[in-house]
């Protein structure tokens, strides 16, 4: 029983055709391997190449670099469909490269960096990661301490990163470092090749969910890289990171949409077949109404995500607020739907032979990654307060 997705006023025929392409890729390349990759703690490396060949790793980037020059709505479609592959970890691995590691480079890096690092990553020949979080700095990016000091034509980098997706096998890292004094203006971004002497991968982290996404601790001990690897201007790294959080948050909101649609599909199929007290579970009004509520949460989340994607594509200032709302709502909606679908599956919903418990674990991370739900609430509240103060100022009160 397929979920009856409604036509969207936001999507074009090209978006719908692209969805079909991604869905076939997921059905062919991801879902059959999901169980194995979850056990291994990483997806196969050749999946990046297959995704690159399918045009999935450079949607919004220039055709001159191998990209497709599409919009954020295409990104939402990609993230939705990847999330239906029964392995959020695999979806994270691909999007950590195509969105998180590359978006800043596309907007801020030199042509040389784009040619040397972006183009091979879009093709799937290199794996990229974004390196921001540290043991003492997560959502508070301005608190990072990994330092890059200038030495002639080089930077020498020392410090530590943690919770880095793709970190254990990345070929390069879009790395946040401190080049100046403590505070926001002392942060810069560099492209860091992981074959640099002094770099070491520490523990591969054992996570609650998204287990097919390799996540690691990284150590930098007097690592020397060319100063030409600087992304944009020195001291502007925090601004670059914050201005690109919208794409990361949109991806998570879109993951939530895909997960909810997949879970409702699985739940409806099970509830239609499973009989109790002489009737299918779906024959009971209580469950029909609970599915109605789940579908409403799904569609409201989808609308918020698509609205945010449109605003981001149009470079509207309201895009940041919209995407914060979308991510906040998506994380809570997905966790609610995952719990309901596990409940309708009863004992089977707790069996690892089913994708249900995996999704139940995976969605826990949606309220944490790319800024916690608490941070989203604070960002939304600041916008509300600023709007109210502006109105009072205009009214002379």
Residue 226, CB half-sphere, CA atoms under 13 Å: how many?
5
Token representation of residue 227:
């100063």
What is the C-alpha to C-alpha distance for residues 246 and 309, in angstroms, rounded to an integer?
Answer: 9
Q: Name which of 95, 115, 107, 61 is nearest 241 in CA terms.
A: 107
Whether residue 27 lies in the annotated active site: no
pLDDT in tens, 311-329: 999 999 999 999 999 999 9
233: which DSSP letter? S
Given 235, 262, 285, the domain boundary residue is 235
Options 248, 261, 275, 378, the catalytic residue: 248
Residue 3 lies in a domain: no
Residue 189's H or E segment, with its range, is strand 187-193
- For 81, the 3-state DSSP assignment is helix
Answer yes or no: do 290 and 345 share one domain.
Answer: yes
DSSP 145-179: --EEEEETTEEEEEEEEEEEETTTT-SEEEEEEE-
Answer yes or no: do 243 and 376 share one domain.
Answer: yes
Residue 1 lies in a domain: no
**What is the phi/psi pair of residue 173, to 5°?**
-130, 130
Residue 266 CB burial class (10 angstroms; 0-12, 13-18, ≥19): buried
- For 221, the 3-state DSSP assignment is strand
Answer yes or no: do 154 and 208 share one domain.
Answer: yes
Residue 306 lies in a domain: yes
pLDDT in tens, 201-251: 999 999 999 999 999 999 999 999 999 999 999 999 999 999 999 999 999
Number of structural domains, the chain?
3
Token representation of residue 74:
């295409």
Answer yes or no: do 75 and 161 share one domain.
Answer: no
Answer yes or no: do 246 and 220 share one domain.
Answer: no
Domain that holds residue 149: 129-235
Answer yes or no: do 197 and 311 share one domain.
Answer: no
CA dihedral 232, 233, 234, 235 (to 10 degrees): -110
**What's the CA angle centered on 320, arms 129 and 183, to 5 degrees?**
65
Answer yes or no: do 95 and 207 share one domain.
Answer: no
Given 127, 143, 158, the domain boundary residue is 127
Answer yes or no: do 44 and 107 share one domain.
Answer: yes
Residue 272 lies in a domain: yes
Per-position pLDDT tens, the chain of length 397: 678 888 899 999 999 999 999 999 999 999 999 999 999 999 999 999 999 999 999 999 999 999 999 999 999 999 999 999 999 999 999 999 999 999 999 999 999 999 999 999 999 999 999 999 999 888 788 999 999 999 999 999 999 999 999 999 999 999 999 999 888 889 999 999 999 999 999 999 999 999 999 999 999 999 999 999 999 999 999 999 999 999 999 999 999 999 999 999 999 999 999 999 999 999 999 999 999 999 999 999 999 999 999 999 999 999 999 999 999 999 999 999 999 999 999 999 999 989 999 999 999 999 999 999 999 999 999 999 988 887 888 876 5
Answer yes or no: do 184 and 265 share one domain.
Answer: no
Name beta bridge partners: 192. 173
What is the C-alpha to C-alpha distance for residues 245 and 248, in angstroms, rounded to an integer?
Answer: 5
Q: Name which of 343, 327, 251, 250 is nearest 294 in CA terms.
A: 343
Token representation of residue 23:
């869905």
Integer Rg of the chain from CA:
22
DSSP 90-103: HHHHHHIIIIIITH
What is the C-alpha to C-alpha distance for residues 239 and 187, in angstroms, rounded to an integer?
Answer: 9
Given 80, 97, 127, the domain boundary residue is 127
pTM (2 d.p.): 0.96
CATH code at position 138: 2.40.110.10
pLDDT in tens, 11-46: 999 999 999 999 999 999 999 999 999 999 999 999
Answer yes or no: do 356 and 264 share one domain.
Answer: yes
Residue 321's H or E segment, with its range, is helix 319-345
Answer yes or no: do 265 and 221 share one domain.
Answer: no
């Amino acid at each position: 029983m397929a979920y009856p997705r409604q036509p969207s006023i936001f999507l074009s025929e090209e978006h719908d055709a692209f969805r079909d392409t991604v869905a076939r890729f997921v059905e062919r390349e991801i879902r059959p391997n999901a169980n194995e990759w979850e056990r291994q703690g990483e997806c196969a490396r050749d999946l990046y190449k297959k995704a690159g060949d399918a045009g999935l790793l450079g949607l919004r980037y220039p055709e001159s670099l191998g990209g497709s020059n599409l919009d954020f709505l295409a990104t939402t479609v990609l993230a939705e469909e990847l999330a239906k592959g029964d392995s959020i970890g695999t979806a994270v691995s691909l999007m950590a490269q195509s969105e998180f590691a590359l978006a800043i480079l596309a907007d801020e890096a030199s042509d040389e960096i784009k040619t040397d690092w972006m183009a091979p990553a879009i093709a799937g020949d290199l794996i990229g990661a974004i390196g921001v979080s540290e043991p003492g700095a997560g959502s508070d990016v301005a608190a990072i301490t990994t330092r890059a000091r200038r030495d002639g034509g080089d930077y020498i980098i020392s410090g530590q990163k943690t919770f880095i997706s793709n970190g254990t096998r990345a070929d390069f890292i879009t790395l946040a470092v401190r080049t100046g004094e403590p505070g926001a203006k002392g942060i810069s971004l560099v492209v860091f090749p992981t074959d640099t002497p002094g770099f070491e991968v520490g523990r591969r982290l054992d996570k609650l969910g998204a287990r097919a996404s390799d996540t690691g601790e990284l150590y930098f001990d007097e690592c020397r890289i060319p100063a030409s690897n600087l992304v944009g201007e020195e001291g502007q790294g925090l601004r670059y990171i914050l201005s690109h959080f919208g794409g990361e948050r949109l991806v998570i909101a879109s993951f939530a949409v895909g997960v909810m649609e997949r879970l409702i599909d699985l739940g409806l199929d099970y509830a239609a077949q499973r009989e109790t007290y002489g009737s299918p579970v779906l024959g009971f009004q209580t469950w029909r109404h609970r599915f109605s509520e789940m579908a409403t949460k799904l569609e409201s989340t989808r609308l918020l995500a698509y609205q945010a994607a449109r605003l981001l594509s149009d470079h509207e200032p309201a895009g940041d607020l919209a995407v914060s709302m979308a991510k906040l709502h998506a994380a809570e909606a997905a966790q609610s739907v995952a719990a309901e679908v596990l409940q309708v599956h009863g004992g089977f919903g707790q069996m690892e032979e089913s994708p249900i418990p995996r999704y139940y674990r995976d969605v826990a991370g949606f309220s944490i990654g790319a800024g916690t739900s608490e941070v989203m609430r604070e960002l939304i509240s600041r916008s509300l307060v600023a709007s109210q103060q502006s109105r009072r100022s205009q009214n002379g009160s």
